[in-house]
C-alpha cells in the first residue's frame, strides 16, 4: 500500500516517522476520517473545513488544503477504486523536534500522513439487531470539538465496553448523554429526533449534520437539546451516527434491552443517507 508522508507518496514499508515526532510524544496532532464510497470521498468539503478548525484549535499553522485535496484524489483513484467502502485517514502533527513541551520553532514542519484502507460498514445483521452500549462518565478534556489524536479516554471507554460484553460506550457528563467513543448519538422521542447540541463537549460530526439535514426531508422533526440517561432509556429509538458507523441502531444500554429495538426512523435515515451518498457518488464519478 502506498501512503502519503509529508511531501510524497511512499510504500508503507518505507514510511518512517521520527521517535521525536510530537504526535507520538505528546499526542500533539489532529486527524480526520473520510468515507470513500466507490472511490468518491463523501462530504469532503465539511471534513476539510473541520480539519482546518482542528488545526486552528490546536494552535497549529494552517496546511495547504489544495495539497490535501490532491492527495485525497490520488489515493481515492488508486487505492479506493473498485472498493465500495474505504476510508481516507489524515493526520497532521506539530512535527518532530527534541522533546520539549514548548512548541518548536517555525523551522519545524508538520508531519502530514494520509492513507486509504478498505473499511466495510457495520454488517447488516448488526444493524438489524442493533448494538449494545454502556454508559461511562466523560473524563475527556473540554475541547472535544478538536479532532485530536489524544484518544486515550475514548479507547479506554471502548475497552471497558468490550470487557462488559458491549460494543461501544456513551459518554455522560453532568447527567447528560453526549456521544459515543467514535460516533454521535441520537434518540427519538414522540416522533422527534434529538441529539446533543454542539458545545465544547462533543465532536460536531459530519454525519450528525447530514442526519439533521436529511431528517426533515423524510418527515422527521429535529431538536438539538441535551438529554439524560433516563430520557435515553425511555426513548422510542436510539442510534449512533458517524463516518464509519453510518446510522447504527442501539438496542441495549447498560445491559437493559431498550423497548424499541431497531426502529423506523433509523431505517428511514439510513436509507436517506445512502440515497445522498448515491447522488454524491454519481456526481463524483461524472467529474
Binding site for ligand PDD (CB under 6 A): 33, 179, 182-184, 203, 205-208, 241-244
Closest contact distance (angstroms) between CB of 213 and ligand PDD is 12
Residue 133 near residue 161, CB atoms below 8 Å: yes
Closest contact distance (angstroms) between CB of 186 and ligand PDD is 11
* Cα dihedral: 92, 97, 101, 103 (round 10): -60
- In this structure, the strands spanning 131-137 and 246-253 are parallel
Q: What are phi and psi of 187, to 5 degrees?
A: -130, 155
Cell numbers 479506493 correspond to what residue?
Answer: 80
- In this structure, the strands spanning 40-41 and 2-5 are unpaired
Closest contact distance (angstroms) between CB of 270 and ligand PDD is 14
Closest contact distance (angstroms) between CB of 240 and ligand PDD is 8
- In this structure, the strands spanning 256-257 and 168-173 are unpaired
Which C-beta is closer to ligand PDD: that of 87 or that of 96? 87
Catalytic site residues? 147
Which C-beta is closer to ligand PDD: that of 96 or that of 148? 148
Which C-beta is closer to ligand PDD: that of 144 or that of 258? 144
Which C-beta is closer to ligand PDD: that of 38 or that of 148? 148
Tell me the β-bridge partners of 10. 3
Which C-beta is closer to ligand PDD: that of 55 or that of 182? 182
Q: How far is CA 286 from the centre of its chain?
A: 27
How far, in Å, CA of 130 to CA of 250, rounded? 5
38: left (phi over 0), alpha (psi -120 to 50) or beta: left
How far, in Å, CA of 159 to CA of 179, rounded? 16
Closest contact distance (angstroms) between CB of 173 and ligand PDD is 13
Amino acid at each position: 500500500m502506498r501512503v502519503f508522508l509529508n511531501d510524497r507518496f511512499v510504500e508503507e514499508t518505507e514510511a518512517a516517522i521520527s521517535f521525536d515526532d510530537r504526535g507520538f510524544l505528546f499526542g500533539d496532532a489532529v486527524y480526520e476520517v473520510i468515507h470513500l464510497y466507490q472511490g468518491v470521498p463523501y462530504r469532503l468539503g465539511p471534513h476539510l473545513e473541520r480539519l482546518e478548525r482542528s488545526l486552528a484549535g490546536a494552535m497549529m499553522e494552517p496546511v495547504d488544503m489544495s495539497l490535501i485535496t490532491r492527495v485525497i484524489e490520488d489515493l481515492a483513484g488508486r487505492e479506493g477504486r473498485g472498493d465500495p467502502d474505504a476510508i481516507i485517514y489524515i493526520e497532521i502533527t506539530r512535527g518532530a523536534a527534541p522533546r520539549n513541551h514548548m512548541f518548536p520553532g517555525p523551522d519545524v514542519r508538520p508531519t502530514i500522513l494520509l492513507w486509504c484502507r478498505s473499511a466495510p460498514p457495520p454488517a447488516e445483521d448488526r444493524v438489524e439487531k442493533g448494538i449494545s452500549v454502556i454508559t461511562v462518565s466523560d473524563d475527556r478534556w473540554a475541547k472535544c470539538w478538536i479532532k485530536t489524536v489524544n484518544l486515550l479516554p475514548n479507547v479506554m471507554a471502548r475497552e471497558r465496553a468490550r470487557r462488559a460484553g458491549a460494543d461501544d460506550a456513551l459518554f455522560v457528563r453532568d447527567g447528560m448523554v453526549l456521544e459515543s467513543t467514535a460516533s454521535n448519538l441520537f434518540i427519538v422521542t414522540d416522533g422527534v429526533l434529538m441529539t446533543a447540541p454542539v458545545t465544547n463537549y462533543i465532536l460536531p460530526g459530519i454525519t450528525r449534520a447530514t442526519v439533521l439535514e436529511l431528517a426533515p426531508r423524510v418527515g422527521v422533526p429535529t431538536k438539538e437539546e441535551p438529554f439524560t440517561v433516563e430520557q435515553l432509556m425511555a426513548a422510542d429509538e436510539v442510534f449512533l451516527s458517524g463516518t464509519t458507523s453510518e446510522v447504527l441502531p442501539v438496542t441495549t444500554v447498560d445491559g437493559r434491552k431498550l423497548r424499541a429495538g431497531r426502529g423506523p426512523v433509523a431505517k428511514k435515515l439510513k436509507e436517506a443517507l445512502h440515497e445522498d451518498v448515491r447522488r454524491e457518488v454519481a456526481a463524483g464519478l461524472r467529474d
